Amino acid sequence: MREFDYVRADSLDHAAAQAGPHAALIAGGTNLLDLMKLQVMVPERVIDISRLDGLDTIEADGPGLRIGAMVRNADLAADPRIRADYPVLARALLAGASGQIRNKASTGGNLLQRTRCPYFYDTAMACNKRAPGSGCAAEGGASRMLAILGTSKDCRAAHPSDMAVALRALEARVAIRAPNGTERILEMDQLYRLPGDRPDLETELDEGDIITAVLLPAPALGSSQSYRKIRDRASYAFALVSVAAVVTMQDDRIGKASLAFGGLAPRPWKDAQVDAMLAGQAPSEALFSKAADTLLAEAVSDAGNEFKRHLAHRAMIAVLREATGLAPASTGTDLVGEPA
Ligand SMILES: Cc1cc2nc3c(=O)[nH]c(=O)nc-3n(C[C@H](O)[C@H](O)[C@H](O)COP(=O)(O)OP(=O)(O)OC[C@H]3O[C@@H](n4cnc5c(N)ncnc54)[C@H](O)[C@@H]3O)c2cc1C
């Protein structure tokens, strides 16, 4: 690891004032420190925001909740309000990492954790995300964990967060504090950029911006919520494909469906067309299959990750069957909530 300065921020103003092109915030450090050890990220200054007052609480926010950026993943998953009203979020959190890591990992850090593309982590390999313009060693390489939607010729890295997928399905928003003290609120899809020809630019955050909270809307009363994660091991593994669903039925029809997907794209993926084609319809295998076809219509895969198309198709149908009561819930081992 290279030498760096460590600054423990005592206020948001202090943290913002320390920001710069060669500085990085540290929250739980579970991703940043790994990347620094590998010299994938080489900040000259690390600004610790983990002890700031007021960032580690979950508070009522009108009919919804405001989750501070320093709320730990374990505490968020265990919060009774989250378990009762936003179970898809609790399940997604518990499907991620391990108990020890969730004790350290923060809400803000989880949103901004970097991709797990193996070429990004290996400094001997070309990677446009790590070193803009250097190329993409993933081309023709091992693509099992890579994205099939929203990619570009310059980058096929997938977003790794489980929590962010659930937040996307819940239509959560993110509060960001600029260095001048003003706060702006972004929808989740406004937060993350697609790679295009600048895969190194992953979010709409500017220098000195700090995520202060995630805002959950009012609970979707009467909704069925689920998170299904399919991975190579039953725990301690990132998603090959994951599906988060918040579905509300009206009589025998789907009133509203909000689906989001992980493992498939450079950001937690949502397709408004898919949600729209489910709304107002009676649940059926044919409908779900058509919606899955729509989701995957623009997918670009190769021999190494072609399987994700089939996996995503089947996972989406299984989750929708469960959420709409079309068939009894599966008890397969890919269901989340198992001990990590
Ligand atoms: C072995 C292992 C397995 C894992 N498995 C999974 C998994 O299955 N699913 C999953 O979702 N995750 C998994 N993770 C990732 C883990 O969830 C993340 O490392 C963690 O959530 C990051 O949170 P942190 O607080 O430690 O972030 P940090 O490492 O402190 O920061 C991460 C990034 O976010 C930035 N940042 C942090 N907070 C803020 C803020 N408030 N505002 C602006 N920028 C900020 C930092 O500058 C840094 O760039 C795994 C990690 C490990 C090590």
Flag whether pLDDT at 338 surpasses 80.
no
Query: Burial level of 298, CB count in 10 A (0-12/13-18/19+)?
Result: exposed
Whole-angstrom distance, CA of residue 166 vs CA of residue 51? 27
Flag whether pLDDT at 201 surpasses 50.
yes
pLDDT-based confidence at residue 2 (cuts at 50, 70, 90) = confident
**Residue 328 pLDDT:** 52
Which residue CA neighbors atom 35 of ligand 1 most closely? 109
**Residue 235 pLDDT:** 85
More reliable by pLDDT, 216 or 340: 216
Which residue CA neighbors atom 43 of ligand 1 most closely? 210
The class level of CATH for 224-324 reads alpha beta
Flag whether pLDDT at 249 surpasses 50.
yes
198: left (phi over 0), alpha (psi -120 to 50) or beta: beta
More reliable by pLDDT, 56 or 335: 56
Q: Quick one: average pLDDT of 316-323?
A: 96
Strand partners, 256: 248
Is residue 262 within 6 Å of ligand 1 at its C-beta? no
In the predicted model, what is the mean pLDDT of the chain?
95
Ligand 1 geometric centre to CA of 105 (Å): 6
**Residue 70 pLDDT:** 98
Flag whether pLDDT at 336 surpasses 80.
no
* Sheet with 5-8, edge to edge strand ranges: 5-8, 45-48, 23-26
Ligand 1 geometric centre to CA of 101 (Å): 9
- What ranges do the domains of the chain cover? 5-51, 224-324
Which residue CA neighbors atom 53 of ligand 1 most closely? 30
Report the atom number in ligand 1 closest to the C-alpha of 163: 11
Report the atom number in ligand 1 closest to the C-alpha of 32: 29
Flag whether pLDDT at 286 surpasses 50.
yes
Which residue CA neighbors atom 2 of ligand 1 most closely? 97
Report the atom number in ligand 1 closest to the C-alpha of 92: 11
Which residue CA neighbors atom 31 of ligand 1 most closely? 109
Name the percent of the chain in helix, strand, coil, to the closest 5.
30, 20, 50
Flag whether pLDDT at 296 surpasses 70.
yes
Q: Quick one: average pLDDT of 40-53?
A: 97
What dihedral do alpha carbons 19, 24, 27, 30 form, nearest 10°?
A: 180
pLDDT, tens digit (0-9, with 9 covering 90-100), for 260-272: 999 999 999 999 9
Q: Decide: 128 and 136 in contact? Cβ < 8 Å.
A: yes
Q: Quick one: average pLDDT of 83-110?
A: 98
Ligand 1 geometric centre to CA of 321 (Å): 32
Is residue 110 within 6 Å of ligand 1 at its C-beta? yes
Q: Quick one: average pLDDT of 246-251?
A: 97
pLDDT-based confidence at residue 301 (cuts at 50, 70, 90) = very high
Q: Among residues of the chain, what percentage have pLDDT more than 70?
A: 96
Looking at residue 192, the DSSP 8-state letter turns out to be B
Query: Domain 5-51 falls in which CATH fold?
Result: 3.30.43
Which residue CA neighbors atom 36 of ligand 1 most closely? 109
**Residue 337 pLDDT:** 37
Q: Which amino acid is at 32?
A: L
pLDDT, tens digit (0-9, with 9 covering 90-100), for 108-161: 999 999 999 999 999 999 999 999 999 999 999 999 999 999 999 999 999 999
Query: Burial level of 63, CB count in 10 A (0-12/13-18/19+)?
Result: exposed
**Residue 1 pLDDT:** 63
Q: Quick one: average pLDDT of 36-53?
A: 97
**Residue 340 pLDDT:** 35
Whole-angstrom distance, CA of residue 298 vs CA of residue 23? 37
Is residue 176 within 6 Å of ligand 1 at its C-beta? no
Which tokens is 168 given?
């996307």
Helix (H, G, I), strand (E, B) or coil at 256: strand
